[in-house]
């Protein structure tokens, strides 16, 4: 378009010189005009301003495809034609200098082995010459992708910072490369590159992590991806490292520091806690030393028992308060009865010495009986 639109207040009027017919529009289609110069003048009550548009003939060369994305060592083909109505000579720069008097010429490149491969189609006649370059992107997937830790070996410690490194070897073009970091299937981070080098390079990227106990056994890995646009291969070529499994050392930590236990054959004092390395257990207030993480409440006297879980990173204690339970036994345990109907229930106890039993809701009689 020839766009003469300009801001002015009051709004301007537009006039065009060198048009066959008068036109007051601010915009003209170039395809509707002959080659040459066209002067547009915008005028309002405060003044006028002119602009000259120079319309030239475009190069009618058509390339198919418009651009090429090809893997190093692979082949490609391209067709060059023109949309003009009279005959031109066409030739490819990058091959021989032969000029073919034809409306189209086809070229097949059997194997791309030059990183600086260029192709230009030329159109020429006695009066006109123009050319069209074929954009060519040559790519190479990495030879390998490798993940490692930087200046560290062995298990990691919870809360400490560590550096992971991803090495990508022999990849091109680097400006189309994205390196992605994963933990399991979760994407953590990605890095893009602005280097315009077109030949294969090696790239190294790093990632800082601060693992916690939930990361013990987690697998980290990195992936190199080449995004070569709409003309490139789909899905994008990728190359991944082997997973790096990490071990995380962390100290014991109980979910709560105290727990009340009602003494019973089925109730345990459970001090078991997750830690890496696995913890050892000690108990205070026991008559005999015991390294188990679990004790039967029925084997203990009433009172407080402190359990301490210890590994190389630290220790954590938990206090169990053992209390006597109420020995009453009801049979049945609950009753469903229709209004106005009768029911019966038995109350007894499991203790070894004599208690007095009574029912609240009847008289206040206390019976010295086991039920």
How many Cα atoms occupy the beta-carbon half-sphere of 308 within 13 Å? 10
pLDDT band at 359 (very low <50, low <70, confident <90, very high): confident
**Residue 92: predicted pLDDT:** 67
Count of domains forming the chain: 5
Pairing of strands 89-93, 119-124: antiparallel
Per-residue pLDDT tens over the stretch 207-249: 999 999 999 999 999 999 999 998 899 999 999 999 999 999 9
**Residue 205: predicted pLDDT:** 97
What's the chain's average pLDDT? 86
The yes-or-no verdict on residue 91 having pLDDT over 90 is no
Same domain, 152 and 244: yes
The yes-or-no verdict on residue 143 having pLDDT over 90 is yes
Same domain, 115 and 173: no
Same domain, 151 and 220: yes
The yes-or-no verdict on residue 106 having pLDDT over 90 is no
pLDDT band at 97 (very low <50, low <70, confident <90, very high): very low
Number of other residues whose CB lies within 10 A of the CB of residue 264:
12
Same domain, 111 and 22: no
Mean pLDDT of 115-144: 84
Domain boundary among 197, 219, 249: 249
Same domain, 316 and 331: no
Q: What gap in Å lies between CA 320 and CA 262, rounded to an integer?
A: 10
Same domain, 318 and 333: no
Same domain, 154 and 134: no
Q: What gap in Å lies between CA 222 and CA 190, rounded to an integer?
A: 9
Same domain, 231 and 311: no
3-state secondary structure of 153: coil
Domain boundary among 139, 174, 201: 139
The yes-or-no verdict on residue 325 having pLDDT over 50 is yes
Same domain, 245 and 197: yes
Contact at 8 Å (CB) between 131 and 91? Answer: no
Number of other residues whose CB lies within 10 A of the CB of residue 323:
11
Tell me phi and psi for residue 293, to 5 degrees.
-90, -10
Per-residue pLDDT tens over the stretch 171-189: 999 999 999 999 999 999 9
Same domain, 105 and 202: no
Same domain, 97 and 171: no
Mean pLDDT of 49-68: 84
Distances (CA, A) of 201 to 139, 141, 148, 166, 205: 11, 11, 19, 14, 13
Buried b (16+ CB within 10 A) or exposed e, 328-338: eeeeeeeeeee
3-state secondary structure of 120: strand
> What is the span of the domain harbouring residue 86?
61-139
Domain boundary among 108, 139, 170: 139
Q: Domain containing 159 — which CATH number? A: 2.60.40.10
Same domain, 156 and 218: yes
């Amino acid at each position: 378009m020839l766009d003469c639109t300009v801001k002015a207040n009051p709004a301007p009027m537009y006039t065009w010189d060198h048009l066959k017919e008068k036109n007051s529009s601010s915009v003209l289609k170039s395809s509707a005009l002959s080659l040459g110069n066209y002067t547009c003048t915008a005028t309002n009550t405060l003044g006028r301003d002119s602009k000259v548009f120079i319309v030239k003939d475009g190069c009618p060369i058509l390339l198919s495809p418009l651009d090429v994305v090809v893997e190093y060592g692979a082949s490609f083909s391209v067709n060059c034609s023109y949309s003009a109505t009279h005959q031109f000579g066409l030739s490819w720069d990058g091959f021989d200098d032969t000029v073919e008097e034809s409306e189209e010429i086809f070229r097949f490149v059997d194997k791309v082995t030059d990183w600086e491969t260029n192709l230009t189609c030329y159109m020429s006649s006695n009066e006109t010459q123009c050319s069209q370059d074929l954009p060519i992107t040559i790519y190479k997937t990495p030879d390998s992708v490798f993940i490692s830790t930087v200046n560290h070996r062995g298990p990691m410690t919870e809360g400490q910072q560590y550096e992971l490194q991803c090495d990508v070897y022999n990849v091109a073009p680097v400006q189309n490369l994205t390196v992605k970091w994963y933990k399991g299937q979760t994407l953590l981070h990605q890095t893009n590159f602005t280097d315009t080098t077109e030949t294969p390079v090696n790239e190294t990227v790093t990632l800082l992590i601060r693992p916690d106990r939930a990361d013990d056994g987690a697998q980290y890995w990195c992936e190199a991806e080449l995004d070569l646009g709409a003309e490139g291969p789909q899905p994008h070529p990728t190359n991944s490292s082997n997973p790096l499994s990490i071990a995380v050392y962390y100290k014991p930590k109980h979910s709560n520091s105290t727990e009340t236990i009602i003494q019973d054959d089925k109730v345990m004092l459970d001090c078991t806690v997750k830690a890496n390395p696995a913890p050892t257990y000690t108990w205070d207030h026991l008559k005999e030393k015991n390294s188990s993480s679990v004790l039967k409440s029925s084997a203990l006297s009433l009172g407080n028992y402190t359990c301490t879980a210890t590994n190389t990173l630290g220790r954590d204690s938990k206090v169990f308060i053992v209390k006597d339970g109420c020995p009453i036994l009801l049979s049945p345990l609950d009753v469903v009865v229709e209004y106005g109907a009768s029911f019966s229930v038995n109350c007894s106890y499991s203790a070894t010495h004599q208690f007095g039993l009574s029912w609240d809701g009847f008289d206040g009689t206390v019976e010295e009986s086991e039920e």
